[in-house]
Structure formats: C-alpha cells, structure tokens
Structure 1
C-alpha cells in the first residue's frame, strides 16, 4: 500500500485549516486516513504549524511520500533534515552525537529566525498603527479648522460684501465722470 503524507482541508470558505495526515494514496483528499500527525493554519501570520515530530519522522523513514506542500511543512519543521542526518550516520559519515549537535544548531537558528520575523511583523504593525493614528489626528484637526473657518467668516462676510459694493460704487462713479 502506497502511503502519502498530505493535507486534509477543514474550515469554512476562505478560512482554510488543514490537518497533516498519513493516508493511502488512493483515498480521497478529505476521506479516510491512517493517522493524523499534525495541523497547519495558514490564516495566522506567520502560519501556525503543529506537528508530532517523532510520528512524522517515523512515517518518512517507513517510506511515506509527502506531497509538495507537506514536504515544505516537514522541511520547515526539520523532519527531512533529521532524516538526512540519520542517513549520514548509517553511512558512517559522522556519529550520532555530531548529528544531534548539527540538528540542535539548526533548530536554534530556525527558532531565532522565526522570532526575528515575529518581532519585525509586530514592529511594522505598531508603526502602521502609529501612522494611522497620526493621519487620523491630522484629519481631525483639518476638519476642526474647516468648521472653525466656516463658522468664523459668517460675521466677517458682511463687511467684506459692503467693501465690494463700495468698490463697485466707486467704479460706477468713475465711469460716469469719464463718460
């Protein structure tokens, strides 16, 4: 029986949520499966991946073939790297302690990159919020100034109109005297 590690879709329309499952390759996408080994939520930023590392490593070692997306998930969690290191130990390239040391170093580096990405997203979100508040405050000030300008000229318009009428009257008087 050919087994595959693949995603099983759940969630509502537009908000997918996936289970990472081991299933017979002939079974339908959301149908019968052998074992559920994790979950993947692409709706969060960064995406949330919960994976049973030991079960997934065991299935990969047994020969289960991951689909493209499942391969990316397994790779990001280090399952495929661990399998690669175990292959090196079997071939005698290095011993078990060296493999564990390499994997630990990789895991720590991966964790620091993820934390850096999260902090960058949080800081950019805070900056965007600060910019939006500043824009909103400026818009509010502009609106208040416009209202003040609209209310203040009402008292000043009457003298301005009188000046215009007086100026027009003087122009008419000069035309009459010239003509």
Structure 2
C-alpha cells in the first residue's frame, strides 16, 4: 500500500518534516517514492512553514494512496492559507 506521510529531519529540538509518498512497509526516514512538500513547525510565519504540491497529492490519491492523519490536517490547513 502506498502512503502519504511525514519524514522527520533536522536536529534535536529543531524538527523539520518532509511530506513524502512511500510504501507503507518502509521505515519513517527510509526509502520514498516522491517528495511532495515540507512542514517546519518552528517557523513563526505560518505561510512559509508549510508547502504542499496539491496536484501531486490529488494524483497519488487517485491511484490509491492513503494519507496519514497529520498530513490530512496539514492539507486542510494549507488549503485555508491559500484561499485566505
């Protein structure tokens, strides 16, 4: 099964997440198919802390990928930021 989920990067107490498409059996920071965005919770500016390629998310969902709960929430938040 293909999943859209977060991959943690950064150092201790300074997390940085990449939003990736991966096989559900691969480890969190392991092999991935495609990078489709990022999330930086440290930044104060909410517009620059999150970037998602919505076209790629729609494509991967159309071919059967499932989103993790956190990515679903970030996707909704990103749509609100774009639409105002």
TM-score range, shorter chain: 0.7 to 0.9
- TM-score, L = length of structure 2: 0.86
8 A Cα contact 2:23 2:32, kept in partner: yes
- Aligned partners of 2:13, 2:61: CA distance in 1, in Å? 31
Q: How much has 1:28 moved relative to structure 2? A: 0.1
Q: How much has 1:59 moved relative to structure 2? A: 0.9
Q: How much has 1:46 moved relative to structure 2? A: 4.5
Stretches of structure 2 that go unaligned for 5 or more consecutive residues are none
Stretches of structure 1 that go unaligned for 5 or more consecutive residues are 79-106, 112-179
1:7-37 per-residue CA deviation (whole Å, 9 max, x = no partner) reads 0000010000000000000000000000000
Matches within 5 A, 1:101-112: 107-108=82-83, 111=84
Hey, which of these two has a bigger chunk of helix by percent? 1
Matched, 1:32 2:20: no
Hey, which of these two has a bigger chunk of strand by percent? 2
Matches within 5 A, 1:93-172: 107-108=82-83, 111=84
State the superposition RMSD in angstroms. 1.3
Runs of 4+ in 1 over 6 A off after TM superposition: none
Q: Radius of gyration: which is bigger?
A: 1
- TM-score, L = length of structure 1: 0.42
Q: How much has 1:77 moved relative to structure 2? A: 2.5
Q: How many residues align?
A: 80
Higher RCO (CA < 8 A, seq sep 6+): 2
